Structure 1
Amino acid sequence: MRLTTSLAAMTLALSGLLAAPARAEDAASSFRFEFSPNFEACAGDSSLANALANGITLGISPSPPYTSLDPATGKAAGLDVEIVEAALDWLGVKKITYEVAPFSSLTPSLLSKRIDMVAANIHVTPDRLKVISFTGPGWWYGPAITVQSGNPAGIHSFDDLKKHKVGAIAGSAADEYLRSMGVEVVPFQTDSDQFLSLAQGRVDVILEDDVKVATYIAENKGTGIEMVSGVQIPEDLIFTYGYGYARYGVRQEDCMLRTAMSQALAEVRGNGKVSAVLHKYGLTGRNLFFFPVSN
């Protein structure tokens, strides 16, 4: 289904694009990375060879439009499923199987080798960097402060969240960031539970992905929730606590698979495949790249 809801993160006017260029050294210092190179484990491990020879098991969560099981076919579906499958096809991986679990269970499943990759997009956070590695960028979306229609709680900034109980998916980037702020978090296991709890007033606000919120609102008319627009996104939320690029997770020792998958993602971004998938799900080329603007 193509989204008809306008996503705040995709309708922003990008200001300052015609400003005079800064000096090279000033411009270079203004760009940040989410994490540093880590190739110590790249000593010819067998992770890529195993995937090519025996196939790969991907972990996903029931979280449309990213990943889910199609009720009609029982097959994996969603935006991230299509992107990851396109990258694996470029690599020559022929056999793909799926394990479905709550998002909070995907990293433990990866570490226990029940799955070989977290294919539900997963973002860089300090806690995750301690235990897993990440592929190169797949695409981007932003965080959305989401409230009851009319915003009766009067929430207009991230600082305002400190005064309220805030809902978030357990184990998500939003969950980790809110706890780092000292916010009282109400954890949820499923998207539907958190959206329903917000609509019924059991929580005042939730922090969730703008794409996911827009999908829910578009598919559930009169749901009684809305995104707060014009919110300045804290820089550390983007570059430290999980709202940088959507990536995919692999074990730290599987360096060959990580390196190959990173190039594969770059190739399918470069040839237009990722853009085509984004458009299929109601997004645009805006979601290929992060822009430092408010939502």
Structure 2
Amino acid sequence: MRKYMLALAALLAGLVALPNAFADDNVASNGVISGVRFDGGDGSYARAVRNGVTLAIAADPPSTYLDDKTHAFDGTDVRIFKEIMKRLGIEKVTWNIMPFDAMIPTLLSGRTDIIVDNLHENAQRLRVVAFTSPAYWYGSAIAVQRGNPLKIHGWDDFSGRTIGTLRGSLNHQLLEGRKDLKELKLYTSSEAEFADLIAGRIDVAMEDGIKIGLFLKQHPNAGMEFVTDYRPLPQEYGYARYALRKGDVDLNHAVSRALDEMRADGSLAAILRQFGYTDRNLWFYPVKN
């Protein structure tokens, strides 16, 4: 009986201590995630706190871009990462803007530490980089000249046409396997791609749906339009994530931890809404074809 009572007392003491244990893990008032230590491991998180990080972005609105008016970097992913850096206590942050297809080589060379312009996870990329936990969800869409004179509505209608997309993107990988296209034109920015579509130099612009929507909102008189009945292939949509070197496990865990807390406390959704996304973009919804 004495042993039973001692065991029960120990259990009750542990239960009483639980609220404090959880309280230690809350987001502190200064924005730093309390209790995140990542002792041991590869030391990449500790180095980031001590030395700072260099973040890779592209001219890729609305995700990442240089604002012409403020001359400051902005975008969905830029604002998400400013909050992540604050929560992780990483104060020295350098932003490095580059062509989209240069981001992975620059990361692997050690010149940058995290790819902040979000990427979709796929087998080809997984061979060389590691991804964080999910940030948000989106998929591909297509735009054509206003009035859709070529009657392009889906993947099968691309045959014999000139298709444009961003170099190094997931759409680039999907389209380069097609042998029935008239031409595949690759761009370093979506603005150049849309300009060529309006000028008639390409027949289809295949881009993230949110990019096309934002461009049309900003340029309502542009000579292009959404193809609203386009149904993306399953490979064309999924969670957006961020990429790090495979060896930087601690830093990846820290960033993913901050992302997960932002999804849970509503701050990630608040940022997404500032750029035209909705709460639907927080969770993956299968698209039926």
Range of TM-score over shorter length: 0.7 to 0.9
Please give the TM-score of this superposition, normalised by the length of structure 1. Answer: 0.80
* Selected match of 1:279 from 264, 269, 273: 273
Deviation of the 1:112 alpha carbon:
0.8
Alpha-carbon distance in 2 for matches of 1:202, 1:73? 32
Q: Do the aligned partners of 2:140 and 2:208 also contact (CA within 8 Å) in 1?
A: yes
The answer on 1:64 being equivalent to 2:61 is: yes
CA distance in 2, matches of 1:233, 1:64: 21
Give 3-state SS (helix, strand or coil) of 1:233's partner: coil
Pair 1:133 & 2:118 matched? no
- Aligned twin of 2:152: 155
Q: Tell me the TM-score normalized by structure 2.
A: 0.82
**2:49 aligned residue:** 52
Q: CA deviation at 1:254?
A: 1.1
For 1:70 and 1:198, how far apart are their aligned partners in 2? 24
Equivalent residue in structure 1 for 2:70, among 68, 73, 83:
73
Match of 1:216 in 2: 215
Residue-by-residue CA offset, 1:136-156 (whole Å, 9 max, x unaligned): 111111210111111111111
TM-aligned CA distance change 1:105 to 1:189, over 3 Å: same
Show the counterpart of 2:26: none
Distance 1:108 1:155, change over 3 A: same
What is the CA–CA distance in structure 1 between the aligned matches of 2:252 and 2:91, rounded to whole Å? 17
**2:281 aligned partner, one-letter code:** N
- Measured in 2, the distance between the counterparts of 1:198 and 1:73 equals 29
Contact 2:167 2:186 in 1 (8 A): yes
Q: How does 1:129-278 map to 2 (within 5 A)?
A: 129-182=126-179, 183=181, 184-235=183-234, 237-238=235-236, 243-278=237-272
Q: How many Å apart are 1:102 and its aligned residue?
A: 0.9
Q: Which runs of 5+ in 1 are unaligned?
A: 1-42
Distance 1:55 1:179 in 2: 38
Tell me the secondary structure at the aligned position of residue 185 of structure 1.
strand
Q: How many residues align?
A: 249
| Corresponding residue number in structure 1 for 2:109 | 112
Q: In 2, distance between residues paired with 1:181 and 1:165?
A: 12
Report Cα offsets for 1:210-240 as digits up to 9, x if no partner. Answer: 11111111111211111111222222x14xx
User: What amino acid is the match of 2:279?
Assistant: G
Tell me which of 275, 284, 290 is aligned to 2:284.
Answer: 290
**C-alpha contact (below 8 Å) 1:60/1:119 kept by paired residues:** yes
Residues 228 and 255 (structure 1), Cα distance of their counterparts in 2 relative to 1, 3 Å cut:
same
Shift of 1:294: 5.8
Distance 1:64 1:58 in 2: 16
Deviations 1:106-133 (A, max 9, x none): 1111011111001011111332122111
What's the CA shift string for 1:57-77, capped at 9, x where partnerless?
101111221111223333211
Instruction: Name the residue aligned to 2:100.
Output: 103
Q: Which has the larger radius of gyration?
A: 2
> Partner of 1:167: helix, strand, or coil?
strand
d(CA) in 2 for partners of 1:77, 1:222:
25
SS in 1 for 2:243: strand
Give me the whole-angstrom Cα distance separating, in 2, the residues matched to 1:232 and 1:279: 24
The match for 1:15 is: none
State the superposition RMSD in angstroms: 1.8
> Aligned letter for 1:291?
Y
Q: Which amino acid aligns with 2:241?
A: R
Q: Deviations over 1:37-69 (max 9, x none)?
A: xxxxxx811211111111111011112211112
Distance 2:46 2:158 in 1: 47
1:24-35 mapped onto 2 (5 Å cutoff): none
Higher-RCO chain (CA-CA 8 Å, sequence separation at least 6): 1
CA contact (8 A) 1:140 1:287 kept: yes
Aligned residue in 2 for 1:31: none
Unaligned ranges ≥5, structure 2: 1-39
Q: Say which SS state the counterpart of residue 180 (structure 1) adopts.
A: coil
